[in-house]
Each structure stands twice: as structure tokens, then as C-alpha cells.
């Protein structure tokens, strides 16, 4: 009888956390935090996948190989306008929150799923925890910027990856709000470290494409501001064509972007390969001479593996990489891109500096959640 009583007390004292996810990168980040949460007996996690970025590769192999927790709820909300999507998500998430009655709702980053989860929770007076809080691109034309600002403002605990993120919040007056601000480091670094050995064992992307370590530049183009603007897209591709004449350029390309290039008859001299998974991307980064991208996450992953980066954007949330000389912002200007390549290719950088927590961010987040 005492054993049963002890078990009941333990269950009663558990904190219930509902994690809201909507995009594949969020699952990779959440996997790191979920592993850390499992170390604490007083924490119970329930995962909700909104389906915002539906991905056929989100299959049994994806969950099994990457050891990512399967969602407890799958909402299948996608392919809608921003307003319709966010509204539907709020409605469906609210039903789950009423049913489960969690202590906290945990959201990541800056997607529509992030904002919907935060709004649904706040309306029900459930505490909101925002991981990757305080990031700012200072470009209000980006839906992500709106999502992250609004989510920060209504959250109860803001978990920031960097001191820059904390400084952003302080400049916006968050010290005057009844909000707890913590610095954890970046969970993407946790994930990169954890999966690096697995990717080395499982990925065949380099051998399949005849790629030799240190003998190619890895580039990606996916942001709509680049792919849907003919002048920007042509300028980036012309720059990559020029660079390819000096160093092989490899670009994993989304079918939509490939279609745009074909329809507009844009000449491509570099290597286009099919879209790749997370393991393959890690291996391509590790083997590259340099990374060129318009992705937010890839800018950091390049740093994690000691690779310099050139970014085809007009701004970045990861300003510490720019100030530290690890990343160069060029926009879509061909001449600036080519010049940045020339300057970066043989430039030396001290990648030993600890900007993102050194792989301990998930444990820090779980400790914050587990506090009595």
C-alpha cells in the first residue's frame, strides 16, 4: 500500500508540458530538449504537431533513425494563408489544452505554429515558455519577425540562445514586464553534436555525388525573397556560376526552386542535387570548404562545424556571427557575393569561441522546467 501511495504522490507532483511543433527543424531542436526532459522524473511532455510544414519524409525512418519523439497529436493544418492557418491552429490547440490541462506550453522559434500555440495557451491562462526568444532580424516584412515579437511579448519564460537575444529584449523594455528571461545556449548546437556521429555512419551523400572533403562549396537558396524575385535569384545564381569556375559549388535544390529556374531559363553552371535530409546536410557542411546560404539555421550549423559562411540576405538574426567575422552578409548582390567568397575562402577564424553554449542548452532548459 505505501508503494501505491508514493506513486500517486509522484504522479500528482509531475509538471505537464505541451510542446507545440510545426516544422521539421523544430522537431530536431525539440528532440534535444525531449531527451533532457526525460532525465527529470517530475516532468511529463506531450507533443503536438500542427502539420504546418507537411513533409512526406516525416516517416517511421525519420523518427526511428533520429530518435525523435512521435507526436501525441497530429493536426494536419497546412497549405493555408497565414491568417487561416494560424486561426485553425489556435482553435485545434485550444481543444487539446482544455483536455490535457498542462502546467506549461512550450514553443520554439518563429513559425505560425509558434504564435498559435502561445496565443491559445495565454487565452487559457497557461504559462508559455518560448525557446529561441529575443531573436530579431529588424525586418517587419518577414512573417517570422512578427511571430517571434508577438510570442515573446505574451510568454512567461523567455529562453534566449545568446547574449545578443537578451540585449534585444532589454532594449525593448522587457525588464519592465513580469517575465522571466534566461540564457540557455542554442539547442541547434546540441542537436548538431548529437547527430554528427550518426550522420557520419549513415549518410552517403558525398560518395553518391563524387564530393571530396574540402573541395567544394555548399550553397542553399530557399527563401521566397530570393526565389520569387527574378533579379535577386539571377544575381545569386550568376555569382555561384562565377565561383563554380574556381571551386565546385553544390546546391541541394527544392523542386519549387528548380522549377522556377527552369521556367525562367536561368543558366546554371554549378551542381544541383535533390533535396537532402538532416544527416546528409550535416555531412555536406562538415566536408565543405565554405557555406553560402539564405537559411537562418545553416548559418549557425556552419559555425558549429568550423566553416565560414556567406549569407544571401540583407540582415540576419545571428549578428554575433557577423561581428565575430564568421559570417558575411551580402544580400543578393553578385559582386558582393563573389568578393565575399574571395575574402573568406582563405580567411582564418577562431571557431573555439563559445557563442552558443557548447551543446548544453537542452539540459539548461530542462533544469528550468524542472525547478520547483
Task: Determine the average pLDDT of the residues in 303-331.
Answer: 96
The Cα angle at residue 362 between residues 161 and 75, in degrees rounded to 5: 95
Global pTM? 0.89
Whether 349 maps to a domain, the answer reads no
Q: Same structural domain for residues 19 and 131?
A: yes
Q: Same structural domain for residues 205 and 326?
A: yes
Q: Same structural domain for residues 174 and 267?
A: no
Range of the domain at 336: 194-344
How far is the C-alpha of 293 from the C-alpha of 277, rounded, in Å? 16
Q: Model confidence over 111-160: pLDDT tens digits? A: 999 999 999 999 999 999 999 999 999 999 889 999 999 999 999 999 99
Q: Same structural domain for residues 363 and 337?
A: no
Q: Same structural domain for residues 118 and 182?
A: yes
How far is the C-alpha of 200 from the C-alpha of 279, rounded, in Å? 8
Q: Quick one: what percent of the chain has pLDDT higher than 70?
A: 94
The Cα angle at residue 97 between residues 96 and 98, in degrees rounded to 5: 90
pLDDT class of 372 with cuts at 50, 70, 90 = low
The Cα angle at residue 278 between residues 274 and 281, in degrees rounded to 5: 60
Residue 93 has pLDDT above 70, yes or no: yes
Q: Model confidence over 25-56: pLDDT tens digits? A: 899 899 999 999 999 999 999 999 999 876 65
Whether 121 maps to a domain, the answer reads yes
Q: Same structural domain for residues 222 and 268?
A: yes
Residue 7 has pLDDT above 70, yes or no: no
- Give the active site residue among 10, 40, 82, 222: 222
Task: Determine the average pLDDT of the residues in 233-262.
Answer: 96
Task: Evaluate the CA torsion angle 353, 355, 357, 362 in order and state its sign.
Answer: negative
- What letter would DSSP give residue 370? H
Domain count, the chain: 2
Q: Same structural domain for residues 221 and 243?
A: yes
Query: In this predicted structure, what is the pLDDT of residue 5?
Result: 47
Output 273-277 pairs: Cβ under 8 A, ≥24 positions apart.
Answer: 273/205, 273/209, 276/205, 276/252, 277/57, 277/62
Annotation marks residue 222 as catalytic: yes
Amino acid at each position: 500500500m505505501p508503494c501505491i501511495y508514493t506513486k500517486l504522490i509522484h504522479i500528482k507532483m509531475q509538471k505537464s508540458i505541451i510542446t507545440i511543433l510545426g516544422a521539421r527543424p523544430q522537431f530536431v531542436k525539440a528532440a534535444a530538449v525531449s531527451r533532457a526532459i526525460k532525465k527529470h522524473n517530475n516532468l511529463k511532455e506531450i507533443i503536438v504537431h500542427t502539420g504546418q510544414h507537411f513533409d512526406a519524409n516525416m516517416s517511421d525512418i525519420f523518427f526511428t533513425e533520429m530518435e525523435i519523439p512521435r507526436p501525441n497529436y497530429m493536426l494536419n493544418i497546412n497549405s493555408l494563408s497565414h491568417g487561416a492557418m494560424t486561426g485553425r491552429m489556435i482553435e485545434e490547440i485550444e481543444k487539446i489544452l482544455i483536455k490535457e490541462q498542462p502546467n506549461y506550453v512550450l514553443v520554439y522559434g518563429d513559425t505560425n505554429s509558434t504564435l498559435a500555440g502561445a496565443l491559445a495557451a495565454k487565452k487559457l491562462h497557461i504559462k508559455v515558455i518560448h525557446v529561441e526568444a529575443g531573436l530579431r532580424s529588424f525586418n517587419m516584412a518577414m512573417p517570422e519577425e512578427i511571430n517571434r515579437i508577438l510570442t515573446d511579448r505574451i510568454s512567461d519564460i523567455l529562453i534566449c540562445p545568446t547574449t545578443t537575444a537578451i540585449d534585444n529584449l532589454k532594449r525593448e523594455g522587457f525588464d519592465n514586464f513580469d517575465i522571466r528571461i534566461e540564457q540557455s545556449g542554442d539547442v541547434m548546437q546540441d542537436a548538431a553534436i548529437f547527430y554528427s556521429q550518426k550522420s557520419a555512419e549513415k549518410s552517403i551523400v558525398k560518395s553518391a555525388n563524387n564530393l571530396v572533403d574540402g573541395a567544394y562549396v555548399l550553397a542553399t537558396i530557399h527563401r521566397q525573397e530570393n526565389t520569387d524575385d527574378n533579379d535577386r535569384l539571377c544575381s545569386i545564381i550568376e555569382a555561384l556560376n562565377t565561383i563554380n569556375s574556381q571551386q565546385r559549388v553544390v546546391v541541394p535544390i527544392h523542386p519549387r526552386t528548380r522549377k522556377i529556374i527552369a521556367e525562367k531559363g536561368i543558366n546554371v553552371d554549378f551542381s544541383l542535387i535533390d533535396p537532402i535530409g538532416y544527416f546528409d546536410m550535416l555531412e555536406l557542411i562538415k566536408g565543405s570548404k565554405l557555406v553560402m546560404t539564405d537559411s537562418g539555421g545553416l548559418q549557425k550549423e556552419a559555425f558549429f562545424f568550423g566553416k565560414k559562411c556567406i549569407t544571401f540576405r540583407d540582415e540576419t538574426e545571428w549578428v554575433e556571427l557577423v561581428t565575430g567575422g564568421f559570417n558575411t552578409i551580402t544580400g543578393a548582390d553578385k559582386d558582393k557575393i563573389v568578393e565575399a567568397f574571395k575574402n573568406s575562402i582563405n580567411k582564418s577564424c577562431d571557431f573555439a569561441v563559445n557563442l552558443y553554449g557548447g551543446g548544453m542548452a537542452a539540459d539548461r532548459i530542462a533544469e528550468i522546467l524542472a525547478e520547483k
